[in-house]
Structure 1
Amino acid sequence: MVALLILLATAPLFPFIALAIKVSSKGPVIYRQLRVGRCTPEKMDLFQIMKFRTMYIDAEQRSGAVWATENDPRITPVGRFLRKTRLDELPQLFNVLKGEMSMIGPRPERPAFYQKLEDEIPYFVERTYGVLPGITGLAQVNQGYDACIEDVRRKVGFDHSYALSLGSFYSWITMDLSIMSKTLIVMIDGRGQ
């Protein structure tokens, strides 16, 4: 319900964002990428995440799968603005409506990184047991994007704290409202990466 309301409220921005992306660089407006969704010890769900494209086409053709960095040359000028304001994440509202994501939860990882992170970070996988990945989350509003494995290691602690908040209705609502308000501040202040 919340995702639908936000989608309806932000839909007027979509044509302007699409035009800016098309004018600034070649390629599609929407970028799709395989991500790891909800996990259990027996099963790992994969889905196609949707975002407004912020990088040049074939940005990882030479480098392979790598985390984005500050001042990353693969990011277009329009893409830099979209990332700072987190507007690039708006198409993920469709992922929420399809039941692949939730508004709040741990960030969905790329399969290319998942196995390495699982091997190097204790309890990495458990952070997604029974929890849908989210557009925003406690880790995202407190730390930003990942640049290295140490960033992910810190985020796992935030993800586990969020999972613990789901234990009671009051703590869950309090945590979600706090995360949503911090997300709005990050977007307005342009503190995304």
Structure 2
Amino acid sequence: MEAMWNHPEIHKVWSKSKQKQGKVRFTHDEKKRPYLSRVEIKAVADIVLFKYLNTLKIKSRVLCAIAEVASTRFVDGVEGRPGIMGIDYSTAFWLYLELGHRAYKLESADDLNSPFVSMYFGAAYVAWLSEYEGRERAPQFFVQAYFVGPKNVNPQDVSPLWLKFEESLSKYEETKRSGDSCSIM
């Protein structure tokens, strides 16, 4: 929570809405489902990438757009896919056990309902997919592979998931240009 309060955009938004440090609550939709705002999800992605996956070339806005498509930013996920990143437990556990992504404990599928845990394992999976089979992959491949699995991606097909991703990505466009030319998207 402290890392969220230290994020400049979050501090500004939460202070303006009269949140008290240490006592922030999720926003809920009309069905009482907790979700993260776009500013909050961007902060979660920024923090996870900075603290645990800072060697990745993937930008936080890519992760935010994937979360937007996967869960509409609902904390508990949607349609049987847990958490904000919608990564299933078996994939997250494989990343944890086999690939050594252990910044967060992963004991059950419920752990993926924590926004930071879900973002961490989702980002690790995106990183793995972006270099699938030992070669750098285009965003169109790894985004589609994230949802349907790498063996089910048809490179000639413009999937509806890709189109949703592009639409979501536009909501996270950066306002200022960065000198980072080698980062993915």
TM bucket (normalised to shorter chain) is 0.3 to 0.5
Q: Which has the higher contact order (CA 8 A, sep 6+)?
A: 1
> Normalised by the size of structure 2, how large is the TM-score?
0.35
